[in-house]
Chain A
Amino acid sequence: MRLASRLGGAALSLVMVAVLGFFLFRVVPGDPVVSMTRGRPTTAAMQAELRAQFGLDRPLHEQFWGYFTSLLRGDLGTSFTFRRPVSDVILERLGPTLLLVGTSTVIAVGLGLWLGVLAAWRRDSAFDRTTTGVSLTLWAVPTFWLGMLLMMVTGDLFPSRGMRDTDTAPDFLSQALDVGHHLVLPSLTLVAVVCAEYLLVMRSSLLEEMHAPYLTTARAKGLRDDLVRRRHAVPNAVLPAITLVFLRFGLVVAGAITTETVFSWPGLGLLFYDALTGPDYFLLQGLLVVTAGAVVVMNLLAELLYGVLDPRVKVV
């Protein structure tokens, strides 16, 4: 029953994403074709043709129906700059982003939660003050600026543009090493910012649990402090932290956009940048729908995972 309502909720959210994507780019003041072709030599006839091509000359409800049904078929329209289906362009760029975001998230979650536990357990120690201070500072640092700084400081140590060099040997190992080499700076940037957030979340979650009466029970049983922490405090504190980690997945997405822009990492983030500089509304709309949809799905997974982990929540 609850599973059904969760799935229903996620489905509704996806529909809302689609509606949002449609209206965001249609209720804008001015003609999208005019602003997209601004600065390029175009005639009125060409603009009219474009309008017809993108269906902009039809009534709004027809446009929406067309958009929505194609969306269900996986058709996101045609990119204005690339002159190719948006879905193809997006699929092409998916891999690099998954690699960057995946690597960074895994490292950031592991490191952030672990350091957060240590900081909370030794509340007000030098370690806690340092990690909290560094995290708060990192939280204040714009991602892109951190990336630029890293790039400048490391100099030629790591490649700072793209994902692979053109002259690398074609065998798998050389290619993998090359990509790994390119991955260092962008992932370091993303990890630093996101990890700080996770650390603070985990720390405050564990601090909330520190005064829970069941910890006194555990101490009274004769458990050592580290066992009290490992067996009782952390399992309780990690659950809300996990939800927050997933809830802030949007943060990683946002970080990826600027990081990829700074390092010219050929993923969806860089594509976002290309789309907004165009501006290429159809590409932007497709990207918005895809990323927002992905976040909604991630969130659903988080809820399901939470239901499995926390006995108090019955999902199925």
Chain B
Amino acid sequence: MSRFNRSGVAGAAILAVAALVAVIAPLVISADELDVTRVTAAPWQSPGAEFWLGTDHTGRSVALLVAQGAGTSLFVGLTAAVLAVGIGTLVGIVSGHFGGLVAGALLRVTDFFLVLPALVLAIALSTVLPRGLGTIVLAIGLTSWPSTARMVRAQTLTIEARPFVERARALGGGHVHVIGRHVLPSVVPLVLVNATLAVATAIVAESTLAFLGLGDPTRISWGAMLHQAQLHGAVPQRAWWFLLPPGVAIVVVVLAFTLVGRALEAVVTPKR
């Protein structure tokens, strides 16, 4: 328990730092330093006094690129997670609370999408839609809601089976009353946990899409950096300084979200 709390606090601290970097980086880094056509430094420099993390294939500072990329990764992760969790919560509550054909159909659709590989669908979506940040958010958000829906539905069913909901109905409470006063308040903490974990998944998904070249070409992101690294042969050149920083950034931030999520989960789920 306390171990979870400690790692949860550590995760939260990491996220605070990442958020700070994401906000400050665009303010202090001048566009010139990130513009391929204007940088003057030599490409493929290993880390040194001038460039702490070396330079990429065009001579841009890897350290600055990683700092700049934080914003994209966090933005996509958060918005896609909010979208996915929002859809999931709505579908979950509707299919859990209301019986009948609509609920049956919703459940069917949820199960269908739950089984399908979300990443494959996200790839397909981002291939057919015009490249851009919005597409990535849509592609990830629209394909990763089913697990939330499943969980919210299960929780809705559990709550609705509780005698206090029957009591509320017997008192004369309608759908709005039951959902608003009983179902939602008990679903929200779980949704919060789920959202935190969904951000982690979304960030990995964003990096994967960007790595496959499906990202927003005008924006720097950690996945896009790795795409460039792969494309321009960072591995055969042993340019570890180009490969490690963006990857480590992804792992650390995703792990931080996971740790926070698990810590929240331990708080939210009642102990037996």
Question: A251 CA to B117 CA in the complex, in Å?
Answer: 6
- Whether A253 contacts B117 by the Cβ 8 Å rule is yes
Q: Once the chains bind, are A299 and B115 in contact (CB under 8 Å)?
A: yes
Task: Give chain B residues whose Cβ lies under 8 Å from the Cβ of A296.
Answer: 115-116
**Please, which residues of chain A bring their CB within 8 A of the CB of B250?**
140-142, 145
User: How near does chain A come to B143, taking the closest CB pair, in angstroms?
Assistant: 10
Contact of B124 among A139, A142, A251, A284 (CB under 8 A): A284
Chain A residues, CB < 8 A from B211: 142, 144-145, 258
B258 within 8 A of A: yes
Residues of B within 8 A of A151 (CB): 235
Q: Taking the complex as formed, is B130 at the interface, i.e. its CB lies under 8 A from any CB of chain A?
A: yes
| A257-B123 contact, Cβ under 8 Å, with A142-B204, A211-B272, A251-B117 | yes
Residues in A with CB closer than 8 Å to B229 are 148
Q: Indicate if the CB atoms of B115 and A257 lie closer than 8 Å.
A: no
Q: Assess A257 versus B129: contact at CB under 8 Å? Given A140-B250, A152-B235, A152-B240.
A: no
| Distance in angstroms between the alpha carbons of A258 and B204 in the assembled complex | 12
> Is residue A279 contacting chain B, with contact meaning CB distance below 8 A?
yes
Contact B129 A295 (CB under 8 A): no
Given A142-B208, A288-B124, 10 more pairs with CB closer than 8 A: A24-B121, A25-B128, A124-B3, A140-B204, A140-B255, A144-B208, A145-B243, A152-B243, A272-B120, A295-B115
A28–B240 Cα distance when bound, in Å, is 40
Interface centre among A139, A160, A277 (most CB of B within 10 A): A139
Name A149-200 residues within 8 Å CB distance of B: 149, 151-152, 160
- A25 partner residues in chain B, CB cutoff 8 A: 124, 128
The 9 closest A-B pairs by CB, nearest first: A250-B117, A254-B119, A140-B254, A28-B128, A145-B247, A140-B255, A253-B117, A276-B127, A140-B251
Interface string of A239-276 (1 = CB under 8 A from B): 00000000100110110011001100000000011001
Is A281 in contact with chain B by the CB < 8 A criterion? yes
Compute how far the CA of A287 lies from the CA of B107 in the bound complex, rounded to whole angstroms. Answer: 26
Expressed in whole angstroms, the minimum distance between the Cβ of B43 and any Cβ of chain A is 18
Name the B residues within 8 Å of A272 (CB-CB).
Answer: 120, 123
Which of A247, A254, A284 has the most chain B CB atoms inside 10 A of its CB? A254
A294 smallest CB distance to B (angstroms): 10
Given contacts A29-B130, A142-B247, A152-B243, contact A250 B120 (CB under 8 A): yes
Query: Considering only CB atoms and an 8 Å cut-off, how many residues of chain B contact the other chain?
Result: 46
Q: Is A291 an interface residue (CB 8 A)?
A: yes
- Considering only residues 219-272 of chain B, those with a C-beta below 8 Å from chain A are 223, 226, 229-230, 234-235, 238, 240, 243-244, 247, 250-252, 254-255, 258-259, 262, 272
CA distance A295 to B243 in the complex (A): 33
CB contacts (< 8 Å) of B234 on chain A: these are 148
Least Cβ–Cβ distance between B225 and chain A, in angstroms: 11
Q: Is B117 touching A291 in the complex (CB atoms < 8 A)?
A: yes
> Which of chain B's residues have a CB closer than 8 A to the CB of A160?
235
B266 to nearest A CB, angstroms?
12
- Assembly CA distance A28 to B128 (angstroms): 6
Point out the residues of chain A lying under 8 angstroms from B123, CB to CB: 257, 272, 276
B200 closest partner in A (C-beta):
A140
Complex Cα gap A295–B235 (Å): 33
Can you name 25 A-B pairs with beta carbons within 8 Å? A13-B112, A17-B116, A24-B125, A29-B129, A136-B255, A136-B258, A136-B262, A140-B250, A140-B255, A142-B207, A142-B223, A142-B226, A142-B247, A151-B235, A152-B238, A211-B272, A250-B115, A250-B116, A253-B117, A272-B120, A272-B123, A279-B128, A292-B117, A295-B116, A299-B115
Give min CB distance, B141 to chain A, whole Å: 16
B11, chain A: closest CB distance, angstroms: 10
Interface residue B212 (Cβ < 8 Å from any Cβ of A): yes
Residues of A within 8 A of B117 (CB): 250-251, 253-254, 291-292, 295
B133 at the interface (CB under 8 A from A): no
Measured CB to CB, the closest approach of chain A to B161, in angstroms, equals 19
Chain A residue with minimal CB distance to B253? A140
Query: In the complex, what distance in Å separates the CA atom of A279 from the CA atom of B131?
Result: 13
Instruction: Establish whether residues B208 and A258, one from each chain, have CB atoms under 8 Å apart when the complex forms.
Output: yes
Alpha-carbon distance between A13 and B114 when the two chains are bound, in angstroms? 12
> Which of chain B's residues has its CB closest to A145's CB?
B247
For B251, the chain A residues whose CB sits under 8 A away are 137, 140-142, 145
- CB of B120 within 8 A of CB of A291, answer yes
B191 CB-CB contact with A under 8 Å: no
Contacting pair B212 A261 (CB below 8 A): yes
Closest to A262 in B: B230
B251 to chain A: closest CB distance in Å?
5
- Cβ contact within 8 Å between A273 and B212: yes
B214 interface contact, C-beta 8 A: yes
Q: Is the CB of A292 within 8 A of B119?
A: no
Can you list, as one digit per residue, whether each of A283-316 has a CB less than 8 Å from chain B (1) or not (0)? 0100010011001100100000000000000000
**Given A291-B120, A296-B115, CB of A139 within 8 Å of CB of B247:** no
